[in-house]
Amino acid sequence: MTTNWAGSFTFTADRVESPTSVDDLRRLVSSGTRAHVLGAGHSFSRVADTTGTLIRLDALPEVFELTGDTVRVGGGTRLAGLAERLHAKGVALPAMPSLPHVTIAGAVATGTHGSGDGVGTLADLVRSVDLVTAAGDLVTYRRGDADFDGVVVSLGALGVVVALELAVVPTFDVEQRVVADVPLDVLVERFDDVFSAAYSVSAFTTWDGTARIWVKRRTGDAPADLSFTGGHDATTPLHPVPGQPAHHCTAQLGEPGPWHERLPHFRADFTPSVGRELQSEYFVAREHASHALTAIDDLRLGDLLLTSEIRTIAADRQWLSPTHERDSVALHFTWRQDDAAVRAELARIEAALAPWRPRAHWGKLSTHPGAYPGLPRFARLRESLDPTGTFGNAALDAWLSPR
């Protein structure tokens, strides 16, 4: 029996396979039965479910090829391990999500992101994709190809991503501190000032009138001045979820360290967040941030909510990216594990955000994916690459049907 990492659902697959070569993988997916790749299992939606075969990529031959300002890696590579190898070579990924436990292919395929006004999704770093299609063909898509922007954030619906080439930058150090007891009104009234204060800024709140701001400044950049917020620097490390032990988190209190040990909130050697939980996330255009925050605050979310995170992400070009062609603010919710109650709250949140055409994170819970203008183009691409629905499942078939 295989579950997602939080234990909130069980996959319906008949079997789990770990092919040891790309040729074995090609034979597996061209056999005519349904299949889907399972990454690290860090999704809360059924984006990776299948009634056929779940495919793990962890037994494929290792791929790590660093050439100039790009690196080519295997799709099943865990982000934490990749980051350590890149840092040892003197390079870095400019974007990192809040947890490094995920596989690179899974993170890219769902539009996973970090935080920062100038920081895009991990998908925006992709320069090429090696894809095994339902016919068993191994094809490569490169940036500039006609369908490239449809292939990168693909939800696993087009085939199996066996390798990706990513852009890298020179390595850098980051110092992280937390500004506590910031009035929530400050985020609403001075949103741009708060989130432009450093390379990466996140705010956590339970919508109780206050917020904590995680400030991640590249060493060498100008000091991040958040004195205008009325908050104060935390003097002990804090966890994003109030009451949780902070030893699960990356180092705070202004202690400089490598990018991959500061940009994520959680350490790779611990269970992130609280473990048994549910998560959802919605994206609206950056210019609507203050209105969206006010709308959520007015809902008076109760004890079902463990914490909310507010982040900014730069626009990209991927058809199914939640930040497609618009700089965005992401509103993330971590919930207690009560599915029915959470889904009722999601309906309220989606209604409150509706005026600003929200988009839901594909790997998290929602009642509807939202305003993705690239869906019709993606549906046509899916039909051409997987006409028999080898990589389909109930969730994908509902989300990706032509409209």
State how far Cα 240 lies from the chain centre.
Answer: 17
**Is residue 363 within 8 Å of 134, Cβ to Cβ?**
no
Number of residues assigned to the chain: 403
Note the pLDDT of residue 276: 83
168: Cβ–Cβ under 8 A, 6 or more apart, which residues?
A: 66, 69, 70, 71, 86, 91, 92, 93, 125
Characterize the bridge pairing of strands 138-142 and 126-132.
Answer: antiparallel
Q: At what angle do helices 289-297 and 339-353 cross, to 10 degrees?
A: 140
Residue ranges of domains in the chain:
64-170, 173-360
Note the pLDDT of residue 269: 79
> Tens of pLDDT along the chain (403 residues)?
688 888 888 989 989 999 999 999 999 999 888 999 998 888 999 999 999 999 999 999 999 999 999 999 999 999 999 999 999 999 999 999 998 889 999 999 999 999 999 999 999 999 999 999 999 999 999 999 999 999 999 999 999 999 999 999 999 999 999 999 999 999 999 999 999 999 999 999 999 999 999 999 999 999 999 999 999 999 999 999 999 999 989 999 999 999 999 999 999 877 666 678 999 999 999 999 999 999 999 999 999 999 999 999 999 999 999 999 999 999 999 999 999 999 999 999 999 999 999 999 999 999 999 999 999 999 999 999 999 999 999 999 999 975 4
Q: Is 394 helix (H, G, I), strand (E, B) or coil?
A: helix
180: Cβ–Cβ under 8 A, 6 or more apart, which residues?
A: 212, 231, 232, 233, 234, 238
Characterize the bridge pairing of strands 53-55 and 15-17.
Answer: parallel
Q: Please report how many Cα atoms fall inside a 13 Å half-sphere around the Cα of residue 86, on the Cβ side.
A: 31
As a whole number of angstroms, the distance between CA 280 and CA 400 comes to 19
The two three-digit tokens of residue 188, written as one number: 């609403």
Closest CA relative to residue 320, chosen from 364, 365, 376, 393: 376
**Is residue 153 within 8 Å of 375, Cβ to Cβ?**
no
Domain 64-170 classification at class level: alpha beta
The two three-digit tokens of residue 49, written as one number: 């479910």
The CATH number given to 173-360 is 3.30.70.2520
Strand partners, 255: none
The two three-digit tokens of residue 168, written as one number: 């890298």
As a whole number of angstroms, the distance between CA 98 and CA 399 comes to 26
| 3-state DSSP of 75-143 | CCCEHHHHHHHHHHCCEECCCCCCCCCCEHHHHHHCCCECCCCCCCEHHHHEEEEEEECCCCCEEEEEC
Q: Is 33 helix (H, G, I), strand (E, B) or coil?
A: coil
145: Cβ–Cβ under 8 A, 6 or more apart, which residues?
A: none
Note the pLDDT of residue 274: 67
Note the pLDDT of residue 7: 86
For residue 308, with 0-12 CB atoms within 10 Å meaning exposed, 13-18 middle and 19 or more buried, which class applies? buried
Instruction: Give kind and range of the element (H or E) at residue 186.
Output: helix 184-189
The CA angle 276-278-281, to the nearest 5 degrees, is 145
